[in-house]
């Protein structure tokens, strides 16, 4: 069903196409084409029947078909008005053996942040979990997480906001010095696999998009608050998926792009790890995602932890 919808949307993207041509291309009956076209209309698409065939003249603001229409990468979108957590739903999708699925919700009722912290996800945000299977060893997965951060900043900048990245993957806005700015978006990555093979990876991306700040934790901000208007969430998610997918295809590009968007490099930082805390200057990020830190007496690479910017040094 979803594959048929995806194929139909792809055919409609190319311009007017007749019912018989669609039936041929999709390998379904003309009656089934008609049913599918009507389902899209009921979902908010305006589809005119012209002499040349069906033409899409208007696309709904958000939703599965809206995001898939014009999407340049082969992801199926599963949309929920409300769900507990798109990552939790993503796990179910993964266990059904489905890959290249983006689970998107308008609202989450039990969303999860990093380090088992809760995450606030009211209506109007972009709550999206990408279920995929990169063909890399499990140890390389942190690079895919950084790619998600880069894709998120890139989509924010395309929407007009100069967001930046605090290691590893916090998307922030504003003063990159002490505290690092106000949190706009966060990423929670979960995976299953063996040493040499990932069986599934879920990249959960939460962006405070068309949300008022009084619905968010104290230090957080939103695209609406920063830009003074709502953004086109459909276009944002499309850019996010396209950019993330491009980096999975070209992993060598990720670290340089992360460096370009980072506000952590060059900063004095405090890194809290499960069993100790260190302070030093963040020098670089290194494959597959570790932060290179120079402390008073040595240089070390930190692979996981909470990072705090201590003061601006840029
Ligand atoms: C963080 O703590 O910074 C990470 C927050 C990740 C939130 C996103 S929203 C979409 C996905 N679903 C979840 O339950 N969490 C992630």
Q: Judge if 294 and 193 occupy the same domain.
A: no
Give residue 133 CA to ligand 1 midpoint distance, Å.
19
Atom number of ligand 1 nearest to Cα 110: 14
Q: Judge if 212 and 126 occupy the same domain.
A: yes
Give the closest residue (by CA) to ligand 1 atom 7. 206
- Yes or no: say if 150 and 261 are a contact pair by the CB < 8 Å rule: yes
Query: Per DSSP, which regions of the chain are E strands?
Result: 46-50, 53-58, 76-80, 101-105, 126-132, 164-166, 170-173, 182-194, 197-207, 268-272, 277-286, 290-294, 299-302, 306-311
The pLDDT tens digits of the residues spanning 207-255 come to 999 999 999 999 999 999 999 999 999 999 999 999 999 999 999 999 9
Residue, of 258 and 181, whose pLDDT is higher: 258
From the CB of residue 307, how many other CB atoms can be counted at a distance below 10 Å?
20
The pLDDT tens digits of the residues spanning 22-63 come to 999 999 999 999 999 999 999 999 999 999 999 999 999 999
As for how many domains the chain has, the answer is 3
- Would the pLDDT of 176 be above 90? no
Closest CA to 104 of 64, 135, 73, 155: 64
- Would the pLDDT of 314 be above 50? no
In this structure, is residue 296 part of a structural domain?
yes
Atom number of ligand 1 nearest to Cα 105: 10
- Residue 86 DSSP SS3: helix
Give residue 122 CA to ligand 1 midpoint distance, Å.
12
Q: Judge if 138 and 229 occupy the same domain.
A: yes
Give residue 135 CA to ligand 1 midpoint distance, Å.
24
pLDDT at 313: 47
pLDDT at 1: 54
> Which of 41, 58, 75 is at the close of a domain?
58
Q: Judge if 101 and 250 occupy the same domain.
A: yes
Atom number of ligand 1 nearest to Cα 125: 9
pLDDT at 178: 63
Give the closest residue (by CA) to ligand 1 atom 8. 206
The domain spanning residue 42 has which CATH number? Answer: 1.10.10.10
Q: At what angle do helices 19-26 and 2-13 cross, to 10 degrees?
A: 130
Q: Judge if 178 and 253 occupy the same domain.
A: yes
Range of the domain at 22: 3-58
From the CB of residue 10, how many other CB atoms can be counted at a distance below 10 Å?
16
- Judge if the beta carbon of residue 166 lies within 6 A of ligand 1: no
- Judge if the beta carbon of residue 238 lies within 6 A of ligand 1: no
């Amino acid at each position: 069903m979803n594959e048929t919808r995806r194929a139909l949307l792809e055919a409609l993207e190319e311009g007017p196409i007749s019912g018989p041509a669609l039936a041929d291309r999709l390998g379904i009956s003309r009656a089934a084409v008609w049913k599918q076209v009507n389902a899209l209309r009921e979902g908010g698409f305006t589809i005119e029947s012209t002499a040349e065939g069906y033409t899409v003249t208007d696309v709904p603001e958000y939703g599965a078909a809206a995001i898939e229409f014009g999407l340049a990468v082969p992801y199926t979108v599963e949309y929920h008005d409300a769900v507990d957590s798109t990552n939790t739903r993503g796990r179910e999708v993964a266990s059904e053996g489905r890959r290249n699925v983006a689970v998107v919700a308008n609202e989450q009722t039990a969303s999860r942040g990093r380090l088992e912290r809760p995450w606030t996800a009211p209506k109007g945000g972009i709550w999206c979990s990408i279920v995929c299977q990169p063909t890399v060893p499990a140890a390389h997965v942190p690079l895919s997480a950084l790619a998600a951060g880069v894709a998120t900043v890139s989509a924010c900048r395309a929407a007009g906001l100069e967001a930046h990245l605090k290691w590893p993957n916090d998307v922030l806005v504003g003063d990159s010095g002490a505290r690092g700015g106000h949190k706009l978006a966060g990423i929670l990555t979960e995976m299953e696999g063996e040493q040499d093979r990932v069986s599934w990876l879920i990249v959960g991306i939460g962006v405070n998009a068309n949300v008022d700040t009084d619905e968010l934790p104290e230090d957080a901000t939103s695209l609406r608050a920063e830009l003074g208007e709502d953004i086109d969430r459909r276009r944002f998610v499309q850019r996010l998926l396209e950019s993330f997918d491009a980096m999975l295809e070209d992993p060598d590009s990720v670290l340089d792009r992360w460096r370009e968007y980072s506000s952590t490099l060059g900063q004095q930082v405090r890194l809290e790890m499960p069993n100790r805390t260190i302070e030093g200057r963040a020098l670089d990020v290194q494959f597959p995602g570790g932060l290179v830190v120079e402390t008073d007496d040595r240089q070390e690479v930190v692979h996981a932890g909470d990072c705090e910017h201590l003061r601006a040094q840029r």
